[in-house]
Amino acid sequence: MNTMIINGRVEPLPEDPDALLIDVVRDQLGLTGTKLVCGGGVCGACTVLVDGVPIASCLMPARAAAGKSVTTVEGIGAQELHPVQKAFMAHDALQCGFCTPGFILEAAAFCDRWRAAKGTAVPSREEIGAALSGHLCRCGAYDAIFRAVADACAGRFDGGHFASPRIEARDKVTGAARYTVDIRHDGQLEGVILRSRDAHARITVLDLAPARALDGVTAVSLLSDDRIVRYVGEPIAAVAAKDRKTALAALAAIKPTSEPLPAVIGLDAARKDDAPVVFDRASRKRAGNVSEAAGGPAPWKRNVRGPTSVFARRAKRARNWVDEARQASNSLLVEGTFRTGTQQHACLEPHAAVARFDGEELTVHASSQWVVHLKEQIAKRFKLDPARVRVIADHVGGGFGSKASIGAETIAAVELARAANAPVRVVYDRHEELSVAGYRPAAEVKVALLPSDRGELKALSVTAHADTGAATNSTIAGLARLMYPAEAKDLRDFDVISNLPPGAAFRGPGGPPMAFAVEQAVDEAALRLAVDPIALRKRWDPDPNRQRLYDWALSLDTWRNRTSAGSGRYRRGVGVATGYWLYLWQPKVKVEVAVKGGRIVASTATQDIGTGTRSVLADTVAREFDLEADEVEVRIGDSSLPEGPGSGGSRVTASVLPPTLTAIQKLKAALLEQATRKPAPGSNAPWRELIARSADIAISETRGEDGKNTAPGIRSPLKDLGLLGVVFGWMMRRNSNIVIGAGVPSSVQVIEVEVDAWLGHVRVLKVHTGIAVGKIAAPPLAHSQACGAVIQGLGYALYEAREVDPLSGDVLTAGMEDYRIPGIADTPEIDVHFDEAGFDHVLGNSVGLGEVATVPTSPAVANAIFNAIGVRLAEIPIRPDRIVAALKGRTAA
Amino acid sequence: MNASSAISAGSAPEFRAAGTDLSERRRSGVSRGPIVDLPVTSGTIGIDWAADGSARIGAFTTIAAIASDVRIQDAYPGIAAAAQGLATPQIRHLATLGGNLAQRSRCWYFRNPQIGCLKKGGSDCPARSGNHLYHAAFDLGPCVAPHPSTMAMALLVYDATITTDRRSRLSLPDFVGDGTNGAADHALEPGEKIEAISLPAPLASERACYQRAISRSYAEWPLVEVCARAVVSGGIFQHVRIAAGGVAPVPLRLTACQVALEGKPANAEVIAQAAQLATSGARPLPMTGYKLELLVGLVRDVVERIAK
């Protein structure tokens, strides 16, 4: 038998020629720090060292490791942390942590090589970027990774003294952090899902007997009661067996008979009058939801749902003025049609669930953004007592909106676990993750923007058609209401439903496509009015938070030194754009702050998807009690804890901080009251002493309402909507458990690019991101979030697009080589500016930033490209094919 | 019947070197037949140099070893740069030269186990009538997927020959075919194995360059890639060899560009005019016209670097 040495131990290798090294590492040896993500050698998450050299273990046959020495992340810091691990912790070079083990191994190998050859010289950004070019991080931690690797190479982390702003960082750099995909119960089966090959069909016969006839195989139907599948990949059945290979073989034994129905693929085809209808009237409730909140009523004709235009104001007047201006050939009227691409969440940890029944008790480990909601959904769907359902999500490898509600992975895992009477794990493969796990819908956004003769904004018309697949409830145009007040606004949103997988909420749903269109139109208006584009925004956009950000942007050298379009091969340009998001918080959120066994413990049923929620809680408690953050135990990621918020709508910080602060004050009072002995006078750690000596006390507090006293100009955005706003706010609170608070989280970005006119390549040189979200609760983590939001926005602007087959509806970009997310070398210099005013009426003074920080990136890039080449790119992603086409069109014209 | 189609029919084993291409197809189910691990022998790994300065690279030599070999960098800089530019570091450490040459198409229809195509025994090319954003701009055959091998394109520029267990001095054009066989990615016979690649001795003071056009900075299959070599003597181009990848079912020799540069002054104007000829014979698909713009720009870029 062949063997390898792994982390110093001799281990046998399997005979199976198809066994890959990662299978042995993860499944046979349980070394789950090594992650399987793309399965194609693209992302680097599975990297291990073989004889000291980083390789892709998802591609290396296990038998090729015979006689070799393998090191996994568990082996690299086993004795003492590697300087690279310490540097990643100290610089917060990680967020969700799922890519981190791969980065650590590659960076450690690079650092060791570098040190051996060059001592403590500092490698350049280019050298680090090239060395780590085989790794992808969806959270976008690259900015800190550059700094971490440079400092580790320079020898700044050879010693033992360093601190990490993220309390779970050590678990993430050593591979100890356990994600849902790493859970393994005794007797656990592996579940896989049979999916539709047709874009539209009725399943007439589904016979599970051939699968069930196989030894140890359980099969269940996942068909809906109308037996209709509406997209390629819609679940039909699920199978569980002892391992994935056996389960896939059983799946292949099921041969459903289907009756094809006429299908229609994509936005343009689906809105034709003669297009086949995806949802008839009776089946409309089956459509998915692409927003963070529940939708209201809307007209729905064939495949087009809409318009929803509740945010319009004097819409007819706006239309009339625009028509008149067009007929009069008013040169100030800016009109354009913009198109945005379909953006996949591409979470590195795929959708995954592990379900286990213990008698009547159901425990589900799930890669979830909202454990409480998932628990409720599971209880409802399976008719279980909610008190006997528990959802656990210790670590979540990214979500970005796609893991906010129950999905087929959870449904299949629970169904199969019940039928098999055994624990079952269901993990999406990369093809599933990049095709049926949700996406930000593509959109066509038509804008007409009419300045008055005096240079004020007179009318704004935005009509958006979103390519929502088998889902509805897109709001893009409507979001143009809460900025740039105009005399009249005509804002209309349409969903265009087709036989494609359903879209889902994605980081600021509707915000980036709205901004991509409107912010380019404002830029064009500035050009025609011969006004500085930031100065025009300052004139048209009175929001006090953004007014301060405009002043900051105007002062930037990058902005002041910009020039007009060039003509050589490399052309530089600078662009600006604005974005906002709503300040949302979740009522009824409870946080318990307690002393347990002489330690302080903060608990709430929220989850950390990489945003830093654990650390925000730990930091807040530690600061109030003069402790170190690691002295605070934070319990989250468990639905059995006091009800916490979902990680969506940038609501977590604003929902958990106020009750945490109130609970802390009450706990302090209780500690003082019951203390038999006061702390020694002059003690520099009075609370530490009191806590250590205290009996157990628990204080649980609920999120209260915000104060009424706001700074000038700060008020609830709903107030501007009058009675409608009151009704809308009430519905949001009642149906979606979300409150829209006063004040508007805002961001302004100034971006510099360089366009290669020969090769169509856009290099982003510098990003300034100014963000107003109140006081920053955990500055290093907020910085990480702000950078990550920019990087994801750059992906949206330049690289990312789902491509489908126009006839079959197959998603073609279902691998990481074809669905292109930004890499480390694509990361520009990022300057983060936090303006901390504006939210003093919120207890804790902080609101969330995850969404607002990504909204303006794509229009700022497009405006910068216009500044560089003199051509406006109306469609994203702005790939090389689009740049060369735009330049060719300009030359021809 | 060639090796590849035999495999999809399940009648012959598929060969595996490092497996960086095959493992992904095994996982997805595109490859389901038996596999045979090729044995590494002393004659099929490493780089040997003859007295005349020519090199012989064993088929099992890794891409990383070729990229980092100082003597290869000196004698065949286009080969070293091509090796350095492909895939990711973790793949280059595993992947072999022979495997790179014999790898299968990256077409997103071919890679989907649920979709039939010419390369999987089917009767038509779904990309042609479907979404072919990243496909050929020189429509030379029934399958419109671009040839996947960067190394084959670079070796073509160097007039390299391939030694197999059955024949020697197989030219690159003979190895890749002319693109009319949509079922195959190469023209090896069933069971035929690549053993080594022979490179003629470099010319005195020849220069070379390799570049790819991609949307990001690294780690992306090329939209277009170009390798060129030439001697610039007394300011005049001589012995010009240029090839392009990513644009046709086979690596393409850009003969018209070569002719336009040969014997001409190495200046920007000559280069710009010659680069325009790179599209001679192109027949883009509805979605791939942009590749011709990129091809012209990339030839210009690469030849200018050589002329400097």
A834 token code pair: 């936090």
- Whether residues A880 and B223 touch (CB distance < 8 A) is answered with yes
- The verdict on B13 touching A (C-beta cutoff 8 Å) is no
The whole-angstrom separation of Cα A533 and Cα A751 is 13
Interface-testing mutation among A146, A149, A810, A882, with chain B (most B C-beta atoms within 10 A): A810
Question: Distance from B203 to chain A by nearest Cα, in Å?
Answer: 30
Of A44, A798, A885, the CB nearest to B215: A798
| Minimum Cα–Cα distance from A39: chain B residue | B24
Lowest mean pLDDT among A182-186, A416-420, A886-890: A886-890
The whole-angstrom separation of Cα A450 and Cα A522 is 10
- Whether residues A63 and B37 touch (CB distance < 8 A) is answered with yes
| Minimum Cα–Cα distance from A245: chain B residue | B27
- Whether residues B19 and A64 touch (CB distance < 8 A) is answered with yes
- Whether residues A54 and B23 touch (CB distance < 8 A) is answered with no
pLDDT digits 0-9 by tens, A617-627: 999 999 999 99
Cβ neighbours for A667, distance < 8 A, ≥ 6 positions apart = A593, A594, A595, A697, A699
Tell me: pLDDT of B10 over 50: no
Tell me: pLDDT of A238 over 80: yes
Q: How many residues does chain A have?
A: 893
> Could you give the percent of chain A with pLDDT greater than 90?
92
- What is the full DSSP assignment across B96-131? BHHHHHHPPP--TTTT-TTS--GGGT-SS-HHHHS-
The whole-angstrom separation of Cα A285 and Cα A404 is 19
Of B29, B91, B219, the CB nearest to A823: B219
Find out whether A165 and A92 touch, Cβ atoms under 8 Å: yes
The predicted pLDDT at position A685 comes to 78
- The verdict on B124 touching A (C-beta cutoff 8 Å) is no
How many Cβ atoms from other residues are within 10 Å of residue B273's Cβ? 14
Interface-testing mutation among B25, B216, B304, with chain A (most A C-beta atoms within 10 A): B216
Of B23, B115, B218, the CB nearest to A810: B115
| Minimum Cα–Cα distance from A136: chain B residue | B219
pLDDT digits 0-9 by tens, A717-754: 888 778 888 888 888 898 888 999 999 999 999 999 99
Kindly indicate the confidence band of residue A1, based on its pLDDT and cuts at 50, 70 and 90: confident
pLDDT digits 0-9 by tens, A168-218: 999 999 999 999 999 999 999 999 999 999 999 999 999 999 999 999 999
Of B89, B115, B221, the CB nearest to A817: B221
Pairing of strands B161-164, B47-49: unpaired
Question: Distance from A64 to chain B by nearest Cα, in Å?
Answer: 8
Of B106, B114, B133, the CB nearest to A803: B133
Of B28, B90, B131, the CB nearest to A804: B131
Of A41, A63, A763, the CB nearest to B20: A41
- Whether residues B218 and A106 touch (CB distance < 8 A) is answered with no
Amino acid type, B268: A
Closest-CA residue to B78 (of B236, B196, B251) = B251
Task: Provide the whole-model pTM.
Answer: 0.97
- The verdict on B300 touching A (C-beta cutoff 8 Å) is yes
Tell me: pLDDT of B8 over 50: no
A672 token code pair: 């003082």
Question: Distance from A502 to chain B by nearest Cα, in Å?
Answer: 20
Exposure string over A4-21, b if 16+ CB within 10 A, otherwise e: bebbeeebebbeeebbbb
Closest-CA residue to A166 (of A692, A867, A672, A634) = A634
Mean pLDDT, chain A, as a whole number? Answer: 96
Kindly indicate the confidence band of residue B1, based on its pLDDT and cuts at 50, 70 and 90: very low
- The verdict on B268 touching A (C-beta cutoff 8 Å) is no
Contacts of B272 in chain A (CB under 8 A): none
In the stretch 86-115 of chain B, residues with CB closer than 8 A to chain A read 87-91, 93-94, 106, 108-109, 111-112, 114-115
Find out whether B44 and B196 touch, Cβ atoms under 8 Å: yes
Secondary structure (3-state) at A337: strand
Please provide the distance, in angstroms rounded to a whole number, between the alpha carbons at the two ends of chain B: 47
| Minimum Cα–Cα distance from B89: chain A residue | A134
Which residues, in sequence order, are bridge partners of residue A634?
A602
> Could you give the percent of chain A with pLDDT greater than 70?
100
CA angle A393, A849, A699 (to 5 degrees): 55
> Sheet containing A697-702: which strands, arranged edge to edge?
A632-635, A599-603, A590-596, A697-702
Contacts of B91 in chain A (CB under 8 A): 41, 56, 59, 134
pLDDT digits 0-9 by tens, A807-851: 999 999 999 999 999 999 999 999 999 999 999 999 889 999 999
In the stretch 160-219 of chain B, residues with CB closer than 8 A to chain A read 213-219
Tell me: pLDDT of B235 over 90: yes
The predicted pLDDT at position B233 comes to 96
Distances, alpha carbon B35 to alpha carbons A256, A783, B10, B121, in Å: 31, 49, 10, 18
Contacts of B60 in chain A (CB under 8 A): none
Of A59, A758, A879, the CB nearest to B20: A59
CB pairs under 8 A, 24+ apart, for A111-120? A111/A82, A111/A83, A111/A84, A111/A149, A111/A152, A111/A153, A114/A153, A115/A153, A115/A155, A118/A153, A120/A153, A120/A154, A120/A155
- Whether residues A134 and B91 touch (CB distance < 8 A) is answered with yes
